[in-house]
A and B are shown apart, each in its own frame.
Chain A
């Protein structure tokens, strides 16, 4: 039997806005995924290490502080360092459109702003995880 998709939901940086990350975590769980939530105020190192330890298929990072460029750069560099190219990285929060191409270039597969339906996120994750075979 196919194992359920495992997702790490993380709050990175200093902001405490956890409404969105918690709503998405519950929706993913209700959709049959296994969800691990890091809690608040994690460093990029903590996020990537937890993802490795928990052997997740997806990392979802929520940032509403405006520090997304710095934090995603660190996370994507660490993921490369650890050879995690089979892990799907997605992000959510207040992220201006003009930053999206740069984040995608870094390796962020999907970005979900305010007003995104949880259904859209579930479908995106399911599709991406199927597309990237796990080693």
Chain B
């Protein structure tokens, strides 16, 4: 009899007989069962050098840099944007003054969907969920007094990513900043839009072509700019499990790699400019395991499947945002604690940058006070907790290593399934999965299961289905002045009246020709932006060439 068997028989069983455990099944928010105890038996096959290695070395399980946070802390990057460019410019400057180290721009729904502020569908949405941007004029205001060679800026923008990227380049050109000095990220991940976030203009295939245009253009023009942020965040927010988030995101990443290879791009030139974006939810260890598994899978896939030779191509670098969907409207101050736990998981998982949500976001856009507390949460983790002082401190934990292995195995099963749907091609598999509703069904099913577990009490949400209070605390919320919409439309009209409209027409025509001939569209988009063509006008040209996308409704 082994020591473990003896423990089970002589100690555990009699104890359980007297004092049963709190519940039959212990599960994560993703419905993964967690065992009572993990021991060396659970990681028998773990080979330190092969599976973990050293930070900054393949397969990067312990982190992508040799010193991690001892060298440089993660970038504290709070997502901000509301109202017009004037308001957001002020918020940017406030955040920089408070010690934030990078900017992150939230756009309003019309900008995200490629519509101008005066479009009928934009009514009531201008400047509400983020900043409204129609033309380069708005970007000039947005970045007024912010030198682009000294900040890194992240843009959460997808269908209209080429236009926003072109505007940033135009601002840099105007400030006299060499393009190779521009640093930042455009999200530019359309596959997860079709899968989860549901912002789109043109159909999936031409959307991916446009992304490859950006890869081709950006590797030459802005070699220090992340040309995509392959995102699991929104997949998770839409209700997926942690494993689905990981698997679908990595599959999307592989799909982009395949699309770029098909164009003839060199993997070792574009791959170092890919970045990732994950969610950090409540189940602390599950999230840490997810981040560690993500790095290991990506390194192996890039080296062994796609033959990348440059170690920079093997490194999965990622941004993390704490889980918006975990925030509760009830007892909103409790959200500060949730965000702290989620942020800690992201740091222990080795994130490169982090956005911590504000406690009032289940009620409205975050107020300045709430944003400050969210930023302070990161600063306390960074400077007071000590967790950033040693690299990957949870490595070697029986539980964390077993969970990392398990997460990897299950994610790879999903990726294999996607590959089968594409008959050997991940790119085709992802297209097929979007068209036949595979991803959307998997996510909706997981979301429904979770909701049922919440309603049965199997998943506890403090303040919602346990420790409920009748009277909620009141918080001050931020409101966007409806005046913003009027002002924005006015400015757009003025720009249209003052610009050289013949130059705009010529630029849009040249863009249309390029799109029809399948030439790289980016130089033409930069030209159109510089002529003050609007987001809506440019996206309209692409719609004319490729058609508009509409998702089949399914529940």
Name A residues whose Cβ lies closer than 8 Å to a Cβ of B: 9, 13-19, 22-23, 25-27, 29, 35, 37-41, 43, 65-67, 69-71, 94, 96-97, 113-115, 117-119
Question: Is the Cβ of B363 less than 8 Å from the Cβ of A94?
Answer: yes
Q: Pick the contact of B444 from A16, A17, A22 — CB < 8 Å?
A: A22
- Besides A19-B443, A23-B444, A39-B553, 17 other A-B contacts (C-beta < 8 A): A16-B197, A17-B198, A17-B238, A19-B238, A19-B325, A22-B448, A23-B447, A25-B555, A35-B555, A37-B553, A65-B125, A65-B129, A66-B365, A67-B124, A69-B124, A96-B363, A115-B464
B287 interface contact, C-beta 8 A: no
The chain A residue sitting closest to B454, CB to CB, is A117
Q: Pick the contact of B448 from A13, A26, A37, A114 — CB < 8 Å?
A: A26
CB distance from B442 to the nearest CB of A (A): 12
Q: Which of B515-555 contact A (CB under 8 A)?
A: 550-555
The chain B residue sitting closest to A66, CB to CB, is B128
Question: What is the bound-complex CA distance between A47 and B82, given in angstroms?
Answer: 28
Q: Pick the contact of A43 from B121, B238, B364 — CB < 8 Å?
A: B121
- CB neighbours of B443 from chain A (8 A): 19
A-B contact pairs, 25 of them (CB 8 A): A14-B113, A14-B115, A15-B109, A17-B237, A17-B238, A19-B447, A22-B447, A22-B448, A23-B444, A23-B451, A37-B555, A38-B553, A39-B550, A39-B551, A40-B551, A66-B124, A66-B128, A66-B365, A67-B109, A67-B123, A96-B364, A115-B328, A115-B330, A115-B362, A115-B464
Find the residue from B125, B239, B447 having the highest chain A CB count within 10 A: B125
Question: What is the bound-complex CA distance between A37 and B239, given in angstroms?
Answer: 18
- CB neighbours of B337 from chain A (8 A): none
CB distance from A64 to the nearest CB of B (A): 9
Name B residues whose Cβ lies closer than 8 Å to a Cβ of A: 109-110, 112-113, 115, 120-125, 128-129, 193, 197-199, 237-239, 325, 327-330, 362-365, 443-444, 447-448, 451, 454-455, 461, 464-465, 477, 480, 550-555
Question: Given known contacts A23-B447, A26-B555, is B198 in contact with A16 (CB within 8 Å)?
Answer: yes
Question: Is the Cβ of A114 less than 8 Å from the Cβ of B362?
Answer: yes
Q: Would you call the interface of chain A mostly helix, strand, loop, or mixed? A: loop
Question: Is the Cβ of A118 less than 8 Å from the Cβ of B451?
Answer: yes
Question: What is the bound-complex CA distance between A65 and B106, given in angstroms?
Answer: 13
Question: Given known contacts A37-B553, A115-B330, is B239 in contact with A19 (CB within 8 Å)?
Answer: yes
CB distance from B443 to the nearest CB of A (A): 8
The chain A residue sitting closest to B464, CB to CB, is A115
Question: Given known contacts A19-B447, A23-B451, A115-B328, is B555 in contact with A66 (CB within 8 Å)?
Answer: no
Find the residue from B124, B199, B239, B552 having the highest chain A CB count within 10 A: B124
CB distance from A44 to the nearest CB of B (A): 10
Question: Given known contacts A14-B110, A113-B329, A115-B328, is B555 in contact with A19 (CB within 8 Å)?
Answer: no
Question: Given known contacts A15-B129, A18-B238, A27-B451, is B364 in contact with A70 (CB within 8 Å)?
Answer: no
Question: Given known contacts A18-B198, A19-B447, A114-B328, is B363 in contact with A65 (CB within 8 Å)?
Answer: no
- CB neighbours of A22 from chain B (8 A): 444, 447-448, 555
- CB neighbours of B553 from chain A (8 A): 37-40
Question: Is the Cβ of B362 less than 8 Å from the Cβ of A94?
Answer: yes
The chain B residue sitting closest to A24, CB to CB, is B451
The chain A residue sitting closest to B463, CB to CB, is A115
